[in-house]
Structure formats: structure tokens, C-alpha cells
Structure 1
Amino acid sequence: MSNILHMQEALVSYEEKGTWSFLVVAIVGYAVYLWLVLPQLLSGTPVDRVDYAIPMLWTIGGGIVGGIVARILVAIVSPSESTQADVRDKQINRAGEQVGNSMVVIGGMGALVLALLEVHWFWIANTLYLAFVLSAVLGSLAKLAMYHRGVPAW
């Protein structure tokens, strides 16, 4: 049984493991941000008084550092035979990035509309942050699906 698990673990590429860590870090980072900011909104604090900029910057920075640390830990705990991306990894990365980038475009358009409507910058910043998080999550999920189901022939 442990032999089978070891063989399955060996089949998971370095890039797929990195995708998993990126997904987890994106979700955890945004959850921390919401944990810090949502109580202010729910308590009735006016949007122009909500302290969101510092938590946003810290969770984005923490996500970057967390992503690097997570990738290193995954490489140490579950080393891959190779850290080089093969053709399949590159195809999956490209297709997954296209899926993720669509969320950045949608979020950017949403933020533009909010700016044109002169909505408070709190909502504009949070729309952009959510778009980046959704980009990371959807792009990662698309990549993981392709690792297990194959790259679509578009």
C-alpha cells in the first residue's frame, strides 16, 4: 500500500505541487484579510473609516512571502524528481493563466465602472483585490483540473 502511495506521489510534478501551495496561500491570505476587515464593516463603521489599506498591503505581502515559503516547504517535504517544467507543465501553466487572467480583466472592468460612478475607493480597491484572488484561485483550479484530466485541445 505504501508503495502505491509513494508511486502516486512521484507522479505529482513539481509544478503541480507549486500550484497547490499557491492556491492554499491565496485562499488563506484573503481569508485573513476578510477576518481583519469584515468585522469593521459589520459593526457599522462607515466605509471611509474602515482600516483596510494596511491589512490589504500586509496580506498581499504575506501572500508573496507565504507563497515562497510554501513552495520551499513543499519541495523539502515532498521532493520531486525534477524541478524543470516539461512541455505538459508549460501548456497547463499557459492555459491556467489564461483562465486566471480573465478574472483580472473582469475585476479591472468592474473597478473602472466603480471609479466612473465615483464609488468610494474602498470598494474599488477591494474589487481589484478580489479579482486578483479569484484569478489565483480559478487559475490554480484550472491548472489542477488539467493535471488530472488533461489539457483541452482548443
Structure 2
Amino acid sequence: MSYEERGNLVYLVVSALTYLGYVAVVLGRAGGGPVADVAYVAPMLWSIGLSVGLAIVGRVAVEIAKPGGSFKVDARDRDIKRFGEHVAGGVLGVGMVLPLVLALVEAPHFWIANAIYAVFSAWAVFGAAVRSVAYRRGF
């Protein structure tokens, strides 16, 4: 498994888990009440910050636990990254219609912010998943 492939797997796991953790915190704070009334800004910012930090720490930890060969990015890595970004870009483009519509109908900020975060998380997870499949099966 190449350095880039291992980094991609770390990114996939961290992106998915931090978003799911954010959703769990927000739903837990709702306590059966209206979800839109939950204080969501701090948990969202913590989730984004943790995602970045854990991705960095995770990648370093994976390299310490099982050092790879070369850190050089080759043509295959570049092509897979380009392919993953191309495919995931469709998810991002289509997904951003939802926050746009919410903004146009003047929905509460809670729903707009969470729609944006959900779409970016879906983009990150989907792109990493596509790249993982491409590393294993080709594209």
C-alpha cells in the first residue's frame, strides 16, 4: 500500500467519523426538542478542527506504525487523485443546490450551515472512497 493510499484511508475514516460524531452531539443536545434550537456552532467548529487535527495525527501514526517505502507521488497517484476529485466534484456541485435552496427560502441558519457541512462531508467521504476503490481496482 502506497503512502498516498494510506493517507487517503486515514482521511476517509477521520472525515466520516468526525461528521458522525458531530451529528451525534447535536442530536444528543436536542434531547427530543427541536433540533434547530440546538447551539450548533461550537460543536461544528470543534468537529472541523478535530477532523483536520486527527487526519494529520492519523497519517503520522500510520507512518510510524508501518513505515512505507517512498513518499514520492507517482503518475498513478496523481491520476487517482484527479479521478477522485473529478467524481466527487459532481457530488459537491449537485449537493450545494440544497443549501442554496435553503438560503433562497430564508430557512434558519441552523439548516443552511448544517446542509453545507453535510455536503462538504459527503464530498470528502465520497472522494476518498472513490480513490480507495481506484487504488484497489483501477479506474
Please give the residue correspondences for 1:68-147 in structure 2 after superposition, counting only pairs within 5 Å: 68-147=56-135
Q: SS state of the match for residue 44, structure 1?
A: coil
TM (norm. structure 2) is: 0.94
The number of residue pairs the alignment matches comes to 139
Larger gyration radius, structure 1 or structure 2 = 1
TM (norm. structure 1) is: 0.85
RMSD across aligned positions (CA): 1.3
1:62 aligns with 2:50: yes
Contact 2:87 2:127 in 1 (8 A): yes
Q: Which runs of 5+ in 2 are unaligned?
A: none
1:93-126 Cα shifts (integer Å, max 9, x gaps): 0110112222222232211111001111111111
Q: Which runs of 5+ in 1 are unaligned?
A: 1-11
Distance 1:103 1:135 in 2: 6
Paired amino acid for 1:78: K
Q: Percent identity?
A: 40
Distance 2:98 2:72 in 1: 37
Q: Which residue of 1 aligns with 2:22?
A: 33
Contact 1:97 1:139 in 2 (8 A): yes
Paired amino acid for 1:27: A
